Structure 1
Amino acid sequence: MHAEKGHGARQEAAAGPKAGGGPRAVAGALRKPTRRHRIQIFEDIPKRGFAVTAIVSFLVMLAFWSILSYGNMVSRVFLPTPDRVLHTFFDLLGTQAYWHHIGISVFRVSAGFALACLLAIPIGLIAGTFRFAEAFVEPPMEFIRYMPAVAFIPLIMVWAGIGEWAKILLIFIGCFFQLVLMVASDTRQVSKDLVQASFTLGASRWQAVQTVVIPAVQPRLMNTMRLMLGWAWTYLVVAELVAVNSGLGYAIMKAQRFLNTDQIFVGIIVIGLLGLFSDRIFAFLNRRFFPWV
């Protein structure tokens, strides 16, 4: 009998809150993991903690770079030290020629991206709203988007020559087909209940598109444009391979010829900073115009 009681007690202890203690014990048991483990799936963290973690991630990258370069694990000809890159960074930014490179690159990216948005957003909205348009538009877009933009360079040089339009057109091709598909996907996520409600209130088909679909898709559209602008910056160096004598891509290629790796690093960092700046502008506009998201 004593053995059976002991065995039963052990079973109750192993069963935990299910065996006794009532709802409070169950709730306490459910709360314990939350207290122990601060990192939860999809849980927010304080803004200060997020900022500190982001800074630490950059410091880790800088530390790894410093160990490789200062420790002579990699030749400084191929991996310059951080202080050398920083010195070159300020030297180049102190010249008018480098600011000209920055300005022309910003123009090319902005023009190619704006042209892609001007054409792709209406097409994507129509393809995402109407099934017939989806069947007509998306299959060729899906086919072309897998073609590398670099492969179009010979055709672009035949079509547009070697002037500014060639660079802008390459960035446009790199963004347009992807943007059409992403905008169509964003449009299909609009609640159909909202559209049906507008029909119930007497809206016509185009009125429903104008007053329901377009306003509802705008926050997602802003995020999509923000992502696509990052892709536009990645196509910059490729675009500036086409018979150029200016731009950040040209400066990087010129530095590569003479093995000036510190200038290559500076060009890459400047492109990253410009991309980050443009990304923050879109993030600010998204919060400013769509604070409810």
Structure 2
Amino acid sequence: MSRVMGVAPSLGTDERPPRRRALAPLEPVSTRTRLVLGVAFFVLFFGLWAVFTLGGFVSPTFLASPITMAKEGWLLFTEFGFLHDIGMTVWRVVGGFVLAAIVAVPLGIAMGAHKGVEAFLEPFVSFCRYLPASAFIPLLILWAGLGEMQKLLVIFIGSVFQIILMVAVIVGNARKDLVEAAYTLGATHRGIVRRVLIPGAAPDIAETLRLVLGWAWTYVIVAELIGSSSGIGHMITDSQALLNTGQIIFGIIVIGLIGLVSDAFFKFVNRRLFAWSALR
């Protein structure tokens, strides 16, 4: 009948949508696949680590095996009060990062919303952004001593200028049509900032804070390497003096695990607070 009507016969396979390729560019993967692939990488990593160390290809002096690392980690928790060190490091990261966010987010919003403020602050902030936080440690020790304030200030300096510039860019890239529409409806300058710029930029600001939190972990370890009597960085320094690579590696892994948990928590909170941003 299809030949009589002048219509080419269709194949069953042509009626079905083309199969999506798992490795196609920008092709999403399921949550289960993502989990399996993530776990597979860690399995491969630890497997290669075990082969090179347990197989005798690397000296234990330079790299401990996974088994030795696990034993040293257990000793850290049971005999050396490592939980206290973890608690002190987490407190320093959270404290310094929160201080930086409290200062940086309002300044970044002001710079992004008002070009005059941006012209006044941007050169200085850009200059400070390239200064390594570790370079301030000698001065901070002179100013604040070896206490907690010195370590909080290292994290603060390392984070605040990055957040300011990133937030300013986010706010400055707001849609101009929304701003003009708000002015047409009678919004004031303050109303534009409060009701258009800040709500529109809030999801990206939260994502920026999540990224900078990862940088804060690098600063806290630097701060704890000098003049500290507690913290993960202090433990790593003591282990280095004893050539105990098992404890050093365990401390590094603990930092990564804590960062991974905090990152996942940040993502969860952002999704709850800004669920509508996924529809943009």
With structure 1 as the length reference, what TM-score do the two structures score?
A: 0.86
Unaligned 5+ segments in structure 1 are 1-20
Match of 1:92 in 2: 76
Give the Å deviation of 1:38: 3.2
Match of 1:213 in 2: 197
Kept in 1: contact 2:128–2:161 (CA 8 A): yes
Match of 2:136 among 136, 152, 168: 152
Give the Å deviation of 1:96: 6.7
Match of 2:230 among 239, 246, 251: 246
Q: Which aligned pairs between 1:91-170 and structure 2 lie closer than 5 A?
A: 91-95=75-79, 97-170=81-154
DSSP-derived class of the 2:29 partner: coil
Q: 1:83 to 1:140 in 2, by over 3 A?
A: same
Aligned pairs, number: 266
Per-residue CA shift, 1:230-253, capped at 9, x if unaligned? Answer: 000111111112311111100000
Flag the structure with more relative contact order, 1 or 2, with Cα contacts below 8 A and sequence separation at least 6. Answer: 2
| Partner AA of 1:58 in structure 2 | F
Match of 2:64 among 69, 80, 87: 80
| Partner AA of 1:98 in structure 2 | F
Give the Å deviation of 1:37: 4.1
Per-residue CA shift, 1:196-245, capped at 9, x if unaligned? Answer: 11111111000111111111111101110000110001111111123111
Output the CA distance in 1 between the equivalents of 2:196 and 2:241. Answer: 55
Give the Å deviation of 1:94: 3.0
Output the CA distance in 2 between the equivalents of 1:54 and 1:67. Answer: 20
Per-residue CA shift, 1:247-284, capped at 9, x if unaligned? Answer: 11000000000001111011111111111111111000
Kept in 2: contact 1:93–1:99 (CA 8 A): yes
Per-residue CA shift, 1:141-197, capped at 9, x if unaligned? Answer: 111111111111111112212211111101111101111111111112321211111
Give the Å deviation of 1:51: 0.9
DSSP-derived class of the 2:253 partner: helix
Match of 2:258 among 274, 277, 283: 274
Give the Å deviation of 1:88: 2.0
Q: Which aligned pairs between 1:226-241 and structure 2 lie closer than 5 A?
A: 226-241=210-225
Cα RMSD after superposing both structures:
1.9
Unaligned 5+ segments in structure 2 are 1-6
Which is greater in Rg?
A: 1
DSSP-derived class of the 2:121 partner: helix
Kept in 2: contact 1:252–1:267 (CA 8 A): yes
